[in-house]
């Protein structure tokens, strides 16, 4: 009769002691930690519909000896950044400008407007910033009238100082022989001469520069303003070149940079 109560008591002790012992074993075992920088590579390689790896931000470890240098007034000291010095006479280049013009589109930044412009040049001087596609007519008092222009395409860039030696309304166009040959090699055949008019690529007005083949002239393709597309000439919208034409005289100094 005593054996039965003893068996029952032993069973109860086993049930109570078993979970406690197991709990002690798991409490003493160190936790398993998987570093995010180990899991991220293989999770990313799975691709498809696999869950995206958790973004991990690593803080920069700052040596104890230099903490005081990094933390001043409760904030991290910012590193010194050297900035490129830009000529104040030039407008910053438009980094987002597309490489090719889109027909029928015109960027309003190239509309004529009066802007602040400090220059040592006398009023009446024309300064053409080919990098940023702007023509400035210096008016004095720290200002200039600015127009958008099209400039020479790669391989046809140039710079220098000249004077307006001739002006013409609705000028005729005589392409130079080298241009005729160059375009013929591309399958484009140019006429030996074209009378002035709306179809003429020189547009409504032209101002010839020194003894060069270059001109400031209008265009029947206003969407090319702001791009490098010409064979070296400076092109403007027809309405803009007419406005400039009325403001300058033969002998006007022109600086191309």
| Catalytic machinery residues | 217, 233
Q: How many residues does the chain have?
A: 257
Phi, psi of 185 (to 5 degrees): -65, -20
In degrees and rounded to multiples of 5, residue 109 shows phi and psi of: -65, -15
Residue among 226, 161, 227, 167 at smallest CA distance from 202: 167
In the Cβ-directed half-sphere of 253, how many Cα atoms lie within 13 Å?
11
* R_g of the chain, CA atoms, integer Å: 38
């Amino acid at each position: 009769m005593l054996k039965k109560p003893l068996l029952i008591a032993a069973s109860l002790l086993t049930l109570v002691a078993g979970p406690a012992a197991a709990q002690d074993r798991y409490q003493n075992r160190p936790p398993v930690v998987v570093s995010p920088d180990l899991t991220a590579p293989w999770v990313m390689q799975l691709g498809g519909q696999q869950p995206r790896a958790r973004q991990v931000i690593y803080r920069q470890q700052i040596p104890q000896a230099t903490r005081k240098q990094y933390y001043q007034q409760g904030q991290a000291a910012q590193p010194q950044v050297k900035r490129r010095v830009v000529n104040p006479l030039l407008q910053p280049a438009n980094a987002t400008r597309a490489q090719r013009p889109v027909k029928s589109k015109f960027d309003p930044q190239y509309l004529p407007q009066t802007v602040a412009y400090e220059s040592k040049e006398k009023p009446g001087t024309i300064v053409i910033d080919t990098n940023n596609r702007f023509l400035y007519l210096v008016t004095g008092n720290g200002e200039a009238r600015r127009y958008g222009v099209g400039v020479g395409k790669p391989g046809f860039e140039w710079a220098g100082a000249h004077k307006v030696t001739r002006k013409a309304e609705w000028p005729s166009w005589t392409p130079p022989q080298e241009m005729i040959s160059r375009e013929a090699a591309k399958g484009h055949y140019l006429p030996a001469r074209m009378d002035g008019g709306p179809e003429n690529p020189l547009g409504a007005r032209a101002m010839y520069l020194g003894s060069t083949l270059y001109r400031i002239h209008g265009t029947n393709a206003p969407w090319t303003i702001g791009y490098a597309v010409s064979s070296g000439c400076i092109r403007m919208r027809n309405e803009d070149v007419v406005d400039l034409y009325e403001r300058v005289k033969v002998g006007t100094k022109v600086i191309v940079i």
